[in-house]
Amino acid sequence: MDYLSGLNDQQHKAVTFQGGPLLLLAGAGSGKTRVITTRIAYLIDQLGFSPYSILAVTFTNKAAGEMRERVNSMVPGAENVMIKTFHSFGAWMLRRNGDSLGLKSSFTIYDDDDVNALIKSLVPTASRSEIKQFARDISRCKDDNLSPDDNLTHINSHPNFNNIYLRYEARLKEIGNVDFGDLISLPKKLLSTNKEISSRFQSRFKVILVDEYQDTNRAQFELLQNLTGEDTWVCVVGDDDQSIYKFRGAEVRNILDFDKMFPGTQVIKLEENYRSTGHILSIASAVVKNNLNRLGKTLWTSKGDGLKPTIKYLENGEAEAEFIASKLVDGDLNETAILYRTNAQSRQLESTFIRSGIPYKIIGTLRFYEREEIKDTLALLSFILNSKDEIAFRRVINKPVRGIGKTSLDKIILDSRNYDNDYLETILKTTLLKGKAKKGCTEFYDFISELKELDFTQDLGHFIRRVIEDSGLLDYHRSQDEAIGSGKVDNLEELINSSSKYSGDSALSDFLEAVELDQSSFNRDDEEDDTPKVTLITMHNTKGLEFDRVFITGMENGLFPRSEKLEDDDELEEERRLFYVSITRARKELCFTSCKSRILHGKFIDSSPSIFLGEIPEDFVIGDTPSNSNSFTNSTFKRGDNVYHDDYGSGYIIKVTDNGKHELVLVKFETGQVKQFIPEFSPLEKIARY
């Protein structure tokens, strides 16, 4: 039982806990992955659970892979533990049981572009922005387990939205494919409507563990409920203070109310942090305790206090970038990250770094799988699997050009209704085409039919190479490389290489599923270039990462927290959680920067220091005070004062600062609204405490 050595008391208690349900409240850097994997090993090794009866679910394939490797190294037979992401588990379940929903096991998974294209085919008059909004809102409906029959006005008030959603679902079913939301909602539907399937899964999985539980949405929560039988040991691991993905559908109430949904829950808090120094953790705890909707914990470390974090107030964005550049002269780039709230903030940093010769990399740029040549190839592969796939067909039928224009394509789509929506059969039998269009369709039919006869089970890479070459895509993208100096052919080679590990009858569908569910594995990101680089990254993208030195930039009201977030308590609390996540990325050094003004989206903006900086106790940090902060020493207002405004009513001051010209007062009103005023121009009245 060497795997138990080195666990602290709370970790040991969590690993050896018997029964369920169990909520592990795991603070940032508290070793939660070790606890989960060690618990799985303990269940097998000491409590006699069959590996086959254990299901562990997390949010990324990378995390699942790391978890799998750790467990396998601890106890024999652990390779039979099912460790998957929510979506890959859903896909696995549907490929084996989807026939009861009329879904073939060879279905492919539509990404955002595919979904947009399908909606466009249903609502051709809709603008691009409207289509994207419909797609986002349909996804949100599925996250919240809402059907086209429900009242959806709180999600999209468009009078035809329910009908568009209904038609989208019907068309998706006709095609025989699924979107990402279906990978959760359809398994949940299977379990809630089919007693035989429900009983089978509840009998199999005696232990269910869910990582990053604070990031689950309503549909994922209900899927967990349906998987859980009376005797199932359920353990969820998460941190309510790190719930920052509401815009993706995450519901923080899932973790806050877990004990209500699963009566008898045992809560174990993991509060010892192994990542950051004491001063950094003190700031993180001081800030996040201002949130009301949290279960509560306090991070601590045995590492010692370390360096005190610093605050730097600067004139503008250019000065901010120059300041950070001056701190990078020590050459410690690989372990330095610069965090910002919006991607637009990176422009000034990039410009300054280029001028100063500082190498950098931006996390969150165009991914490998999103590139034109890759999507073309994946669409062809999807169509080979499913000739009813309208979106794949639209993308590849005339690429490279085969003389099939929009008019001819519309005729094919229309006529396909006479051939069970099978586009391969349609282009063979339709009588609506003539000339070049007919010739092009015949060539396409012959090419696809020949590929369908090939055996890809032994060498999927060879098959994909044949697809790329015979389709003309290789020559097409090679000509683009020659014209604009791009690396499209190299990317196609990389796609071929990445398919080499897949074999067997389901090799092609398994590969396409992996592409959709683990797209980051195909992001090359100049792997061969080992030049030290500073990392530029948004606060949201930094979740799960850590660095020795972190700069948190743009600490200004209106930018962070965002203006629209200030007026809603729940939104402001999520912004504060985002600040907490950003702080806890730092191991040793932490610096906050705030500007009096900056240019964003082409506009010059005057700012005041973020209210979050005001929540950091002064003795926890060192550094500047806001420029000209003593200009208004005769102010009648201070933080905590109660005030009254004719339009907004009663409230209290949460921050007093200035923009170099005027005093600025930030007020939170009883209505929950947060407003900023310049007192000399605003009828703001100081009142007695109430």
Q: Which residues are annotated as a binding site for ATP?
A: 26-33
Angle separating helix axes 435-452 and 460-471, nearest 10 degrees: 170
Residue given tokens 């939660």 in the structure block: 32
Pairing between strand 649-658 and 642-645?
A: antiparallel
Distance between CA atoms of residues 56 and 41, nearest Å: 12
Say if residues 645 and 678 touch (Cβ distance below 8 Å).
no
32 catalytic residue (yes or no): yes
Torsion angle (degrees, nearest 10) of CA 462, 464, 470, 474:
-110
Q: Binding site, residues? A: 26-33
What sign does the CA torsion over 431, 433, 436, 438 have? negative
Q: Rounded distance, CA 493 to CA 496, Å?
A: 5
Tally Cβ neighbours within 10 Å of residue 545.
13
Contact 87, 180 (CB under 8 A): yes
In order, the DSSP letters of 23-73 are EEEE-TTS-HHHHHHHHHHHHHHTT---GGGEEEEES-HHHHHHHHHHHHH
**Annotated catalytic residue within 16, 33, 133, 673:** 33
**Apex CA 29: angle with CA 27 and CA 34, to 5°?**
95
Task: Please state, in angstroms and rounded to a whole number, the distance separating the CA atoms of residues 81 and 214.
Answer: 23
CA–CA gap between residue 193 and residue 186 (Å, rounded): 10
Q: Is 689 a catalytic residue?
A: no
Q: What tokens were used for 99?
A: 């026939």
Which residue type occupies 225? Q
Name the 3-class secondary structure at 663: strand
Q: Reduced to 3 states, what is the DSSP secondary structure of residue 310?
A: strand
- Cα–Cα dist 270/268, whole Å: 7
Peptide bond into 124 cis (omega under 30): no
Burial of 525 per CB tally in 10 Å (0-12, 13-18, 19+) = exposed
DSSP 8-class letter at 247: G
Instruction: Show the tokens assigned to 623.
Output: 């550094």
Tokens of 245: 């993905």
C-beta of residue 324 within 8 angstroms of C-beta of residue 551: yes
| Residue whose tokens read 């004139």 | 315
Torsion of the alpha carbons at 387, 388, 392 and 394, rounded to the nearest 10: 110
To the query of whether residue 33 is one of the catalytic residues in this protein, the response is yes
Per DSSP, 350 falls in state: H
Take residue 438 and report the two structure tokens written for it. Answer: 């007919």
DSSP H or E segment with residue 365: none
How far is Cα 608 from Cα 665, in angstroms, rounded to an integer?
9
Q: Where do the H-state alpha helices sit in 100-150?
A: 112-122, 128-143
211 is catalytic: yes
Active site residues: 32-33, 211-212, 242, 585
